[in-house]
Amino acid sequence: MNMDQPNILLIFVDNQPASMMGCYGNDEIFSPHLDELASKGVLFRNAFCPNSMCSPCRASMLTGLMPSQHGIHTWLDDYIMDTWPEGYKAIAEFETLPEKLAKKGYHTALIGKYHLGFADEPQNGFKHWVAMEKGTMESFYDVPMIDNGQRHTAPEHAVDYFTRKSLDYLDKHASPNEPPFFLCLTYPAPYANVPDPDHRYSHQYADLPMNSVPREGLSPELIDWILLCKEKYPDEDFSWYKRLAEQPNDLPAMRRFYAQVSMVDDGVGQVLAKLREKGVLENTLVIYTADHGKSNGQHGFWGHGEDTWPSNMHHSANSIPLLISYPGFAQAGLEVDNLVGTTDLFATILDLADCELESTEPVFGQSFGPLLSGETTEFRDEVFMEQEETRAIRTSEWLFMKRLENTKYGFKDELYDLVNDPDERVNLAQDPNYAEVAAKLSSRVEEFFTIYSNPRWDLWKGGTVKSNSTRPFLWEEVWGEDWTPEF
């Protein structure tokens, strides 16, 4: 067994906060295979994504860069695909994780959602390519797919489709005698924003009281955002924004969302069984994580951190599940409390695959490989996040959200004492007693983004975004009417 070159299975799901799994203490979710994976591997209690939208986090996963470095600050809007340059590839200028791994002899595969530009042909060094045409989910059924150049519509639930395609792939490529594989399995679920007809797990959730999602009223920041959208986009279909207020506390919507986790869990079970069957499980680094978290109503909003005005980085929006099993290396049943981020995962995979962490851009991510064995608990105690007008630092003690100042909205910073107020309820940023803490964290955020940003994509310094922003009016107000997205 060559420990230097493990197979890598990266299961990267869509919109799943860490709290939505049995192994993270949720007794209303049925996730037996994920729970088993956690018991055989390492569970990270404090993993965070750099942004709470799909495309930016996927780009950060594949490049190890922050949004202000790779230029994708929100979801790439499929509805304006016709304005994209021909064959647009959103992160083509970077040497990505699959490219680096391919150089080291890996066979690389993307099976699932891409959402970083046109998905017609393999991108970023992926060789095997089964992807959804679009990134935005409108249904889990009848989804148009591109299977290694062939277009067709998936006959089954999209999660089952990608599971089936992964089993086919592993049948062919998972073997102790074959080159190592890197399978990036990006399920387009649990997702939560599509009406979902019944599936084989729905009945298990039909009468669930949903006590694991705290009952809470809507926040003023959510309502401000919805009403602002109505004002700024009078011609757009307002029903989308309304849903943000209709879904919190809506039991059927919450149950549908939960039930999708069981669909994903089912797929994970089948894929792991296949690795076992092929005799490669012992030499496979299995990672289960999500692009970003998602509030189910916690802090009074539904969904993404950008769905409030101003945007936020509360735990529910940016906390992601992270399970890693790597037999013989990662200690079974270990729970890690250290703060780690998506870009650290990038660095860790390269580390464990014995690749150099080389990049044209500065990379903040560090390998947390040493934490996996349980021999040490030493790791850098900070992660950074950004959501257009908000930039934040989270440490084991503090969450500080810094807001862009030169706007007409008078945005306020937020500071939470995570030791005494783990639910992030009492904003201390305006309390003079905490002025020093706030100032220190504020300058740390500034310092960080001085290094980890490219002026072209640095919204706080006159830069722009790739493809689209969710608040173009803000950037036009701040940087002038000429401000416009680029590619």
The DSSP secondary structure of 122-134, one letter per residue, reads --TT-SEEEEES-
DSSP strands (E only) in 376-453? 383-387, 390-394, 398-403, 414-417
Residues ≥6 apart with Cβ < 8 Å to 432? none
Least distance from other proteins to the Cβ atom of residue 406, Å: 25
Three-class DSSP category at 310: coil
CB proximity list for 31: less than 8 A, separation 6 or greater: 21, 22, 23, 261, 262, 265
User: Closer CB to other proteins, residue 78 or residue 224?
Assistant: 224
CA distance 101 to 107: 8
- HSE-CB at 185 with a 13 A cutoff on CA atoms is 30
Q: Is the peptide bond before 327 cis (omega within 30 degrees of 0)?
A: no
Q: At its nearest, how many Å lie between other proteins and the CB of residue 240?
A: 12
Which of 71/248 has CB closer to other proteins? 248
Minimum Å gap between C-beta 263 and other proteins is 23
Tell me how far apart the alpha carbons of residues 173 and 287 are, in angstroms, rounded to a whole number: 18
Nearest CA to 50 out of 348, 469, 452 is that of: 452
DSSP structural state of residue 219: P
Which of residues 242 and 276 has its CB atom nearest to other proteins in the complex? Answer: 242
Binding footprint of other proteins on the chain (CB under 8 A): 210, 215-220, 223-224, 226-227, 230-231, 238-239, 242, 245-251, 253, 297, 300
- Angle, CA of 386, 389 and 395, to the nearest 5°: 40
Smallest distance, Å, CB 478 to other proteins? Answer: 24
How far apart are alpha carbons 341 and 48 in whole angstroms? 5
CB of 259 to other proteins, least distance (A): 17
By beta-carbon proximity to other proteins, the closer residue of 162 and 225 is 225
Please check whether residue 326 is in contact with residue 6, taking contact to mean a CB–CB distance below 8 angstroms: yes
CB closer to other proteins, 250 vs 417: 250
Minimum CB separation of residue 189 from other proteins in Å reads: 21
Shortest Cβ distance from residue 225 to other proteins (Å)? Answer: 11
Q: Which is nearer to other proteins, 297 or 369 (CB)?
A: 297
- As beta bridge partners, residue 229 has none
Q: To the nearest whole angstrom, how small is the minimum distance from the Cβ of residue 247 to other proteins?
A: 6
State which amino acid sits at residue 318. N
Residues 131, 132, 134, 137, CA torsion sign: negative
Measured from the CB atom, the residue of 246 and 354 that comes closer to other proteins is 246
SS3 315: helix
Q: Whose Cβ is closer to other proteins: residue 239's or residue 433's?
A: 239
- Distance of closest approach, residue 138 Cβ to other proteins, in angstroms: 19
In the complex with other proteins, the residue whose CB is nearer, 245 or 350, is 245
